[in-house]
Amino acid sequence: MASSDVETLDGIGTIPEGFREDAETHKGFMEKALEMAEKALSIGETPVGCVFVANGTIIASGMNDTNRSLNGTRHAELVAISEVLKLHPASVFACADLYVTVEPCIMCASILRQYHIKNVFYGCGNERFGGNGSVLSIHSDFGIDPPYASHGGMYRKEAVMLLRRFYIQHNEKAPNPRPKKGRELNTSLEPT
């Protein structure tokens, strides 16, 4: 995304052109996703949270559930998709937006595309597994399903800090937990 396509707003991060007039609305939805990520962190899950929004209303929320369930596919997006499908037909995704604290991984990006999601707004990139441009561009690559718009950087600092708070903790569920003794939370952030 070119720098002219985004506007940086204090406390929010970047808002893409075409969405600036609704900055407060986007801010509110991303804050709900951050609340879900905080909830995940509080129970020992990787702090990723999300909300699906259709017609200006939150229709589902989710948070990572991989540690508790011992199921590596229970990402926040997939948990929330399951909730959406309990109450709505799959066609609702074509008019829905996803607000998620971390860029969807390759698996989640593929599923979002198969469900024809309209927009994805995320906080920080996912440099190891990102499917919306950090590693692969599943959201926009040539494929059978229509591409979706992806907008990163909203509440980036908050999303990164949640992840850092998680990764300095001891994770009992990790296959080979590394000693965390003496680790400190790094609060500095590289510019995007």
Choose, from 24, 35, 77, 158, the residue flagged as catalytic. Answer: 77
Q: Which two tokens stand for residue 7?
A: 């506007």
CA angle in degrees (0–180, nearest 5) for 191-31-48: 75
Is 17 known to be catalytic? no
Radius of gyration of the chain (CA): 16
CA distance 116 to 145: 7
Tell me the catalytic residues: 77
